[in-house]
Chain A
Amino acid sequence: MANAPLSKNRSKSWLAAVPLLAFVALVFGVPLVVILGGTFTRGGAVSTANVTESVQGAYLTALLGSVKLSALVAVVGAVLGTFLAQAVVTSRFRALREAVLTASGVLSNFGGVPLAFAWIATLGNSGVITTSLGFDARGWSLYNFWGLALVYLYFSIPLMVLVVVPALDGLRPQWREAAQNNGASAWQFWRYVGIPVLTPTLLGGVVLLFGGSFAAYATAQAMVGSAVPLVTLQIANALSGNVLIGHENVALALSLDMIVVAGLVMAVYLPLQRRSARWLR
């Protein structure tokens, strides 16, 4: 066996991929099938009642709340992240650029429970800034929709910086020089050259940020509990048994709703990423 010619091994070498594929099918595929199956059954019979229920009332509010929050964070984060990236990229100080990129790498991964606690310690009810600047007397609260958006931007903006810096680097100086030689103003350069080249990257970034905020659960749970209606909180609630008897599968229907939204988002993202890669060789 050890000395068999390569060609003979070649016919069998796909076997090395079998454990991975089998593992994914079992650990990932089975739960997905269960979600699908559970969504369309209630009380042992096939039914669409779960789906109908998951897009009504409080569940619909939560779903829309998640979409609204994620869309807001994605758009604002993309715009601010792009400005920050442009400020860094055009700076003469290399150290600044390296520092911002490293910090972005760390902060874009700073999510979950620790992020929530850092902000609670800062702007929560007894946070350092809240008490020292007297925000509490003016009715300030971090534990609402806008507070959550403020906190989500903390990891979204750095992620956008990481996404958009390579694209800004890809804007060749020659393009700007050519535009200038032809008499274009700075505005015209951005309007007709810069923004069109960057568009796929920017849209891809928006989509990526949307997905990140949409799936976030830990930060919201640690910060607002259930004060803000979000679909992830509703699923967790339903999984913990907080539903009517016989309606347990609503959690699965909500999960399916989320997967559909996230799937649509990815379906937009992947072609955009391929398109933006074309300019960045």
Chain B
Amino acid sequence: MAALSPQTLPAATKATPAPGRPHRIRVWRGAILLVAAVYFLVPLIASFAFTVKTPGKGVTLDAYGQIFSAEGFGRALLLSLGLGVATIAVVLLLTLPAMLAVRLSVPRLRPILEVVCTLPLVVPPITFVAGISKVLQWGPDYLASTPFYQTIISIQNPDFPVVLVLTYVVLALPFVYRALDAGLSAIDARTLVEAARNLGASWPHLLLRVIVPNLRAALANASFLTLALVLGEFTIARLLSFQTFPVWIYTISGSQAQVSVAVSVFSLLITWLLLLALSSAGARQRSGK
């Protein structure tokens, strides 16, 4: 999971191998790289081959065309995208003010905030959903005569399950916290805030016009991570029976194996693009300083 964190590409220069290093070192290095290339590339190539080769029809790209006309594709993808956007909005609105305030004026709270935001890593999603589904059962079991009942029913609306947004916010917290913490460490937040306040800026103005622009890269980073998480999340959506994108892929695999593999290849491509956008944005930020 440290995978997408921005600091994974240090530009340290490497020691060149000392002259006269044994030839066999280069041989084993080549062998390792070759084995790794086979292991990592073969499933990708084979998946692609699987989707384009139909017995009796030769090589076609039909499976990719069928993705878009497949039953439920649009609805599931839109639902996942909508959940992603909502999750990003909620998680940023919750974390940014809290982290800024704690950093500026209540440093004593910082370890607490860090622990709270890291805790979701310890709890596997499947156990989290076990607890959530138990809580949701309270609706019919105990709260039927109270106003809470309506709330519990409405957050489970299959058209837009708010309960998924709530759980995804919790799952995204560790990644968002780390991304924003790195961003806030890189700017001199205190000077920015005091300068803006001395010039008469209100707090909302200060947040939107001073802090947010300076944290652009970190906010983009956090948003991408959250979006990737929501687009790929299967466990919670399936066990609460909502048709999000990954659940849809799983559902159609029974009847349309080729299409489901095509969608899998497709979703890997999307992840590639998201990540490339992320790392090039990071590179721009570094060189633009």
Interface residues of A (CB under 8 A from B): 2-3, 6, 9-10, 13-17, 19-21, 23-24, 27-28, 30-32, 34-35, 38, 83-84, 87-92, 96, 98, 101-115, 117-123, 127-129, 154, 157-159, 162-163, 165-166, 169, 173, 176, 180, 208, 211-212, 214-215, 217-218, 221-222, 232, 235-236, 239-240, 251-252, 254-256, 258-259, 262-263, 266
Contact = CB atoms under 8 A, between A and B. Distances in A.
- The list of the 3 closest CB pairs from A to B, nearest first, reads A31-B131, A215-B124, A114-B264
B250 A222 contact: yes
Interface of B: 1-4, 7-10, 12, 14-18, 25, 28-29, 32-33, 36, 39-40, 42-44, 46-47, 49-51, 53, 94-95, 97-98, 100-102, 104-106, 109, 113, 116-117, 119-135, 166-167, 169-170, 173, 194, 197, 200, 202-203, 228, 232-235, 238-239, 246, 249-250, 253, 257, 260-261, 263-265, 267-268, 271-272, 275-276, 279
A159 B3 contact: yes
A215 B131 contact: no
From A3, A13, A28, name the one whose CB has the most chain B CB atoms within 10 angstroms: A28
Contacts of A235: 126-127, 130
A9 to B, nearest CB: 8
A236 B232 contact: no
B143 to A, nearest CB: 13
Q: Is the interface of A mostly helix, strand, loop or mixed?
A: helix
A121 B105 contact: no
Contacts, number: 271
A108 B122 CA distance: 18
A87 B134 contact: no
Given A102-B275, A114-B249, A236 B102 contact: no
Q: Is the interface of B mostly helix, strand, loop or mixed?
A: helix
A16 B98 contact: yes
B46 A20 contact: no
B1 A159 contact: yes
Contact of A14 (B94, B102, B173, B197): B102
Contact of A169 (B10, B33, B95, B98): B10
B268 A106 contact: yes
B126 A113 contact: no
A21 B170 CA distance: 11
B271 to A, nearest CB: 6
A220 to B, nearest CB: 10
B2 A112 contact: no
A154 B167 contact: no
Contacts of B119: 24, 28
A35 B279 contact: no
Given A105-B8, A266-B121, 17 more contacts: A13-B106, A14-B109, A24-B116, A24-B117, A27-B170, A84-B36, A103-B40, A109-B3, A114-B267, A123-B43, A128-B50, A159-B2, A166-B8, A217-B235, A239-B130, A251-B130, A255-B126
